[in-house]
Amino acid sequence: MPVCETSCFLLPLRRVARNRSSEIEGRLSGSKPLRLIHSNMSALSGQVQTVLGPIEPDQLGVTMTHEHLTMTFECCYSTPAPGDETVAQAPIQMKNLFWLNQNPYSSHENLLLVQETDAVREELHEYRKAGGRTIVENTTQGISRDLPCLRQLAIDTGVHIIGGAGFYVDATHSEATRKMTVEKLTDIIVSEVLHGADGTGIRCGVIGEIGCSWPLTDSEVKVLKATAHAQTKLGCPAIIHPGRNPAAPFEIVRILQEAGGDISKTVMSHLDRTIFDNGELLEFANLGSYLEYDLFGTEMLNYALYLDVDMPSDSQRVKTLAFLVQEGYEDNILIAHDVHTKNRLTKYGGHGYSHILKNIVPKMLVRGISQTHIDKILIDNPKRWLTFK
Ligand SMILES: [Zn+2]
């Protein structure tokens, strides 16, 4: 449990000039005692904060930067098509798997990843065997964040797990949240990083995923501003879930920038279902955020949450990564699976958390992305992003 009094929370927080990050990252020393974090946020400078405490960035290794190990997704339930009611209500079974993969949001049972901790634990062991070392578990308030569960999974499996501070999309905001000022929201986010979240002493190591709809709601704009303010105070990484429109990532970066956020330490998630035009993608890449392709393993004909678009295949995702590398953006790319429903787990015939390491990396090599570039995407870029300034 947090032992800090309010007074230390109000101490002036050290601000680090953006262009000094690499210099600071270059002179890291040994792990600092946890108690220092209560009295001085600079104790986190140069370190990465996992649910088990701060670690040295070099310990991260291969990292998936956008996953969920336990959550609920009922906020995005989608009514089944006429005639599909029976299969939608049936328990998940082999003969329904094709339907489920095409309609993952129309089965209530499928939205309860929270029920699968044992299966997830097994998958994390597999992930380690496949070479994975770290997972950013960016479940935020609104979709059943469970930090004690993450802590236990980290202890059981040895995988470094990093928890997420802040709030998911407006549809999950409570009335109390909607009424909060930017200052209050900022205090909550800062506290979740410095002292612990949800009444536990378990501290978050990133802000996000911060949920945004399209168009952005007033409450979401306040949370984005609070994210920028908290980031300024903490020098910490942030990760954003943009609304489903090509204009959304641009609008979010503008709001964050105007509120003083650090775009070079911010990840724009889900670009695979958001920006489709290569020219527009380069325009966005120029803004300087990390570019995340995090729906590897998801291939479907009709994307219920955004019917206007064709969900890309994994082959098309790899092609886009090769394009970005060719254009010189290899230092900005991050990848993941964003597992958030049961059907994505191997227990239910899904791809699991090791799909990228087992299947996508070989495909990347075939498509001309070098091992050096792959190491940047899986190790160096996550490390740079996750290290506190
Ligand atoms: Zn997510």
What are the domain boundaries of the chain? Answer: 52-72+113-386
Task: Give the tens place of pLDDT for each residue, 78-95.
Answer: 999 999 999 999 999 999
Å from CA of 338 to ligand 1 middle: 5
pLDDT over 90 at 3, yes or no:
no
CA of 89 to the centre of ligand 1 (A): 24
pLDDT level of residue 42 (50, 70, 90 thresholds): low
pLDDT at 17: 33
Ligand 1 center to 33 CA (angstroms): 31
Find the 343 Cα to ligand 1 centroid distance in Å.
15
Lowest mean pLDDT among 22-26, 165-169, 358-362, 365-369: 22-26
Residue range 55-72: mean pLDDT, rounded: 98
Nearest one of 367, 382, 8 to 205, comparing CA atoms: 382
Looking at residue 43, its pLDDT comes to 83
Ligand 1 centroid–CA 8 distance in Å is: 32
Using pLDDT thresholds of 50, 70 and 90, give the confidence band for residue 40: very low
- pLDDT average, residue stretch 2-14: 33
According to the CATH classification, is domain 52-72+113-386 in 3.40.50.2300?
no
Distance CA 326, CA 332 (A): 12
Q: How far is the CA of 208 from the centre of ligand 1 (A)?
A: 9
Give residue-wise pLDDT tens across range 91-114.
999 999 999 999 999 999 999 999
More confident residue, 353 or 41: 353
Q: What's the 270 CA to ligand 1 centre distance in angstroms?
A: 8
| Residue 319 Cα to ligand 1 middle (Å) | 22
Q: Chain-wide mean pLDDT for the chain?
A: 91
Measure the CA–CA gap between 139 and 40, rounded to whole angstroms.
Answer: 26
Q: In whole angstroms, give the CA distance from residue 136 to residue 287.
A: 23
314-325, pLDDT tens digit by residue? 999 999 999 999
- Is pLDDT of 6 > 80? no
Q: Are 56 and 47 within 8 A, CB to CB?
A: yes
Residue 305 pLDDT: 87
How far away, in angstroms, is 211 Cα from ligand 1 center? 9
Q: What percent of the chain has pLDDT over 90?
A: 87
3-state helix, strand, coil in the chain (%, to 5): 45, 10, 40
Distance in Å, CA 97 to ligand 1 centroid: 22
Cα 327 to ligand 1 centre (Å)? 27
Range of weakest confidence among 24-33, 220-229, 250-259: 24-33
- Ligand 1 centroid to Cα of residue 380, in Å, is 21
3-state SS class at 366: helix
pLDDT recorded at residue 41: 53
Between the CA of 323 and the centroid of ligand 1 the distance, in Å, is 24
